[in-house]
């Protein structure tokens, strides 16, 4: 019997019991739509995380003291606690060959005030390299110079600060006060939007790091050092080189590293692995409904075999082989599954777009997930339809014709 003939017979049988077929298809539709939506949610989250992390600096490296803490108390302070210094920044600039930009990062918390306007914005002391490392760009004015503006009371501000403190005009050349210390605005930054953890990257005030060290914090300690590797694939070499330079400066021989070095690649990998795990769990939960839909197909096919026992006996009596009967019922099962899969994929894509539009959630439907869904639907139809089809093909024609 040709595939086209089998398909026609299967369609007639399915349309004969429309409500039963609809309910069988519905189970597959719900399962596939749920899987497509969950996969799209996971893929969209990964892409969004990668884009936001890349916006922070493609090859960024963060260096910080390796302070072990438990319950808010630092442990083993004498053996592992080390502070970063300006001399470390100078040494990295002079000796490192796998990084092309270095900037200390020192912060101060307080209120920025201009007349009656104020904003609880964090003041961040950096060098001019910080803009390159974190992909910031100057929109208007200039960036301060590391040599001529050491300890100068100048700043460069983000667009959120511009809106909050200078709503009436251009802030260039005007003065804001931070902890009662005046800072002259010499530049503004182009808008960047929210960061990887939802923070506003435009709510920022940059000033020379020596200014924050001496005028605001009265300390020589540096909280973090940001660096930029010379290109993709050099993060590991840059990390080893940085650690080697910092250890050599201190004559460090202890087994515990004095500092931690985190690369952008490492942070992206860590966050995306968590996202992958969450996507897998959500997809597995959604896949349960697809499994239940498959059981529904098996149940319906069993009922169909029982109801059509006489029909099966008659077909066998006029020459149909067991193989023909097997393929006939398998065709019905697969057609139910594929029809549900097609509708489910369309519904899943529509649901993904609706979630993206209404809830502003990052969603990404991949071609791979659509192809895999079709493959899973076909396998579901074969797997759950095989046993009822096999039972039908093994019926005795004489007993089948006698069945009431």
pLDDT 10s digits, 52-70: 666 655 678 889 888 654 4
**How far, in Å, CA of 193 to CA of 161, rounded?**
13
Measured CA to CA, the distance from residue 285 to residue 294 in angstroms comes to: 15
Q: How far apart are the first and last CA of the chain?
A: 28
Does the pLDDT at position 110 exceed 60?
A: yes
> Structure tokens of 128?
């001019």
Contact 205, 106 (CB under 8 A): no
With contact defined as beta carbons under 8 Å apart, do 133 and 226 qualify? Answer: yes
Per-residue pLDDT tens digits for 288-339: 878 888 888 888 888 888 877 888 788 788 877 888 888 888 888 888 888 9
What is the structure's pLDDT at 395? 80
**Confidence at residue 320, expressed as pLDDT on a 0 to 100 scale:** 77
Select from 162, 165, 160, 166 the least CA-distant residue to 199: 160
Which pairing describes strands 154-157 and 181-189: parallel, antiparallel, or unpaired?
Answer: parallel
Is pLDDT of 123 > 50? yes
Q: What is the pLDDT of residues 332-370, one digit of tens each?
A: 888 888 899 999 999 999 999 998 888 888 888 888 888
Q: What's the alpha-carbon Rg for the chain, to the nearest Å?
A: 33
CB-count exposure of residue 15 (10 Å: 0-12, 13-18, 19+): exposed
pLDDT tens for 157-214 read 999 999 999 988 889 999 999 998 999 999 999 998 775 555 788 999 999 999 999 8
Residues of the chain above pLDDT 70, percent: 90
Using CA atoms, how far apart are residues 277 and 293, in angstroms rounded to an integer?
25
Residues of the chain with pLDDT > 90, as a percent, come to 26
In sign, the C-alpha dihedral spanning 84, 86, 87, 93 is positive
Q: Is the pLDDT of residue 72 over 60?
A: no
Q: Which residues contact 318 (CB under 8 A, 6 or more apart)?
A: none
Please state the three-class secondary structure of 73-86 as a single string.
Answer: EECCHHHHCCCECH
The one-character DSSP state at 156 is E
Provide the token pair at 2: 């040709």
Residue 190's φ and ψ, nearest 5 degrees, are -70, 150
């Amino acid at each position: 019997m040709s595939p086209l003939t089998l398909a026609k017979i299967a369609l007639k049988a399915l349309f004969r019991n429309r409500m039963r077929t609809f309910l069988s298809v519905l189970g597959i539709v719900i399962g596939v739509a749920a899987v497509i939506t969950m996969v799209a949610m996971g893929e969209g989250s990964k892409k969004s995380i990668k884009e936001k992390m890349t916006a922070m600096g493609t090859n960024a490296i963060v260096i910080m003291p390796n302070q072990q803490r438990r319950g808010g108390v630092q442990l083993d302070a004498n053996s592992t606690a080390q502070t970063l210094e300006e001399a470390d920044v100078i040494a990295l600039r002079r000796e490192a060959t796998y990084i092309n930009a270095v900037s200390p990062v020192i912060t101060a918390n307080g209120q920025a005030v201009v007349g009656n306007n104020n904003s609880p914005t964090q003041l961040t002391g950096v060098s001019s390299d910080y803009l390159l490392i974190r992909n910031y760009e100057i929109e208007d004015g200039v960036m301060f110079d590391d040599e001529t503006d050491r300890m100068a009371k100048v700043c460069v501000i983000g667009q959120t600060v511009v809106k909050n403190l200078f709503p009436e005009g251009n802030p260039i050349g005007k003065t804001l006060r931070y902890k009662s210390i005046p800072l002259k605005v010499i530049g503004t930054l182009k808008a960047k939007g929210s960061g990887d953890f939802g923070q506003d990257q435009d709510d920022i005030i940059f000033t020379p790091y020596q200014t924050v060290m001496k005028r605001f914090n009265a300390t020589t300690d540096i909280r973090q050092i940001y660096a930029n590797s010379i290109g993709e694939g050099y993060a590991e070499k840059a990390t080893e080189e940085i650690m080697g330079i910092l250890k050599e400066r201190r004559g460090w021989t202890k087994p515990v590293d004095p500092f931690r070095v985190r690369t952008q690649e490492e942070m992206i990998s860590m966050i995306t692995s968590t996202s992958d795990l969450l996507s897998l769990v959500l997809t597995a939960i959604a896949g349960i409904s697809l499994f239940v839909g498959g059981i529904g197909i098996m149940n319906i096919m069993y009922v169909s075999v029982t109801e059509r026992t006489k029909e099966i006996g008659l077909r066998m009596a006029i020459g149909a082989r067991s193989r023909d009967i097997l393929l006939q019922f398998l065709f019905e099962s697969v057609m139910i599954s594929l029809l549900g899969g097609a509708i489910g994929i369309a519904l899943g894509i529509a649901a993904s777009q609706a979630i993206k539009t209404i809830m502003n959630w990052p969603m990404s439907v991949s071609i791979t997930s659509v192809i895999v869904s079709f493959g899973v639907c076909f396998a579901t139809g074969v797997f759950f339809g095989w046993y009822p089809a096999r039972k039908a093909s093994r019926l005795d024609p004489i007993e089948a014709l006698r069945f009431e």
